[in-house]
Structure 1
């Protein structure tokens, strides 16, 4: 029978998002790829330390058991194939099962998301993330300066999402930026019963919902909506999720308060936000990724 990724949650991830390759990457960025390859080969037997998205990936893979393989993680990397050997060995040493990888030796790998039908792409390369988002794949630039995830919830995958331009479209954000807060509130109140158009990460939220329903008692998913919205604009967000028939476990309507401290209490394995100010602050407290979508990123 042919091998298939159908009915699986597929996550594509770069090596720097999964492992701490910052020292090696500094050599690569210096313009000496041969020195980078030599260093990776010299360190072939030295497992890389976990990176920012490691906790998220390890917990998602825990949904796989002897009865079903529900999650597939594929390395999608600008690394060369030689360096790929160390990545797979690092996965084995860190007790995560990695079987598939695409290594493009400096070229953008995002085009391989289509045959993978990936539900999520995580990379430390901003250009790759932008191209992937433009092609319609939920994608985020992992902030490698983020703090690592905590270990208080070993049996829960905890993921936090911003709302506008992430789970939802940037329709309302455009009103806010063009006309201000009062116009934004009035706009959302007048459209409270009209669902927001879906944003780039709605397909991931839906896939996580399906995984939760088909999952294992040993692992569950806990999600949070963490948004700058406040009442009365909260109602449209809630009704939109209801119309999608998808629930989140927690919702934080912060009315412009800094999100970092609230995220620190939620303790997600990963947080997604479209605004650099929010995600930079969040990275001081939790693993974070920038979603370069929507009007806030048009000039970046």
Structure 2
């Protein structure tokens, strides 16, 4: 019988998202491929330090402590196979022995492999790969490798924070705000408070986390937070949408435009996802953060950098 990952939460992650390969990446960008490959070979037995998404991966894999295996983490990287050997060795050195699958493309676009993997999340330090993955319909985020690392305060909780519009939800309401302003946005959302928002790119991940939480694995749990610039009365549509999906979040922060970083610092997530670069930059100085490169705000940022 063929092996399948259909019954698992599948996370695909690049080398630089899981481990700190920034020094090696600088060598890659400033020299030639042979120099980079030689450096990686010299360091084969030197474990890389944990990267931005390490805490998230480590805690998710803790859900596999008892059978059946519920989470699969797959390395999906533009790195060459030899560098991939170092990544696997680094994973083993840090106790992530259950990471056993990987695809290393030596510079070729890797995101196409999300399809056979059936991934519910792709984390990468390559912004273009993230954009392509989102266009293919997979939850994906550009990891800010200079983010603050996760705290170790909650070892038995996977804590994940999500922005709302253009992340969990579609950017329908955000388009009203961007084109017509706050007053029109509030009026639009008040009128449609009982009408669920369409799904955003990260709804499949939230649903997968909800299913994982329902399995009630001893010693591990998931805590989620909605962290949004919405405020009353626009908060109702967001909450009504989650109720329509029959998915609960543990915390909801309706910040009305306040900077999110300080609030996220109090929540202490293992990762935060947002579609606006400014919010991600602010958050990254406090918590591990990633940019969801989709929606009208991102489109406008590309036109007017």
Taking structure 1 as the reference length, the TM-score comes to 0.99
Task: Specify every segment of 5 or more residues in structure 1 that has no aligned partner in the other structure, as ranges.
Answer: none
User: C-alpha separation between the residues in 2 aligned to 1:112 and 1:29?
Assistant: 24
Task: Specify every segment of 5 or more residues in structure 2 that has no aligned partner in the other structure, as ranges.
Answer: none
Compute the displacement of 1:65 (Å): 2.4
Deviation track 1:179-221 (CA, whole Å, cap 9, x = no partner) reads 1000000000000000000000000000000011124121100
1:22 matched to 2:22? The reply is yes
5 Å matches for 1:1-300? 1-96=1-96, 97-299=98-300, 300=302
Is the 1:19–1:48 Cα contact (8 Å) retained in structure 2?
Answer: yes
Is the 1:230–1:253 Cα contact (8 Å) retained in structure 2?
Answer: yes
User: C-alpha separation between the residues in 2 aligned to 1:39 and 1:158?
Assistant: 35
Deviation track 1:265-285 (CA, whole Å, cap 9, x = no partner) reads 000000000000000000000
DSSP 3-state at the match of 1:107? coil
> For the aligned residues, what is the CA RMSD?
0.7
DSSP 3-state at the match of 1:24? helix
DSSP 3-state at the match of 1:298? helix
DSSP 3-state at the match of 1:62? helix
User: C-alpha separation between the residues in 2 aligned to 1:163 and 1:67?
Assistant: 34
User: C-alpha separation between the residues in 2 aligned to 1:82 and 1:53?
Assistant: 22
DSSP 3-state at the match of 1:277? helix
Deviation track 1:44-79 (CA, whole Å, cap 9, x = no partner) reads 110000000000000000000242100000000000
Compute the displacement of 1:31 (Å): 4.4
DSSP 3-state at the match of 2:247? coil
DSSP 3-state at the match of 1:132? helix
Is the 1:63–1:215 Cα contact (8 Å) retained in structure 2?
Answer: no
DSSP 3-state at the match of 2:20? coil
Taking structure 2 as the reference length, the TM-score comes to 0.97
Deviation track 1:215-257 (CA, whole Å, cap 9, x = no partner) reads 4121100000000000000000000000000000000000000
User: C-alpha separation between the residues in 1 aligned to 2:285 and 2:115?
Assistant: 33
Find runs of 4+ consecutive structure 1 residues off by over 4 angstroms: none
User: C-alpha separation between the residues in 2 aligned to 1:134 and 1:67?
Assistant: 34
User: C-alpha separation between the residues in 1 aligned to 2:32 and 2:158?
Assistant: 38
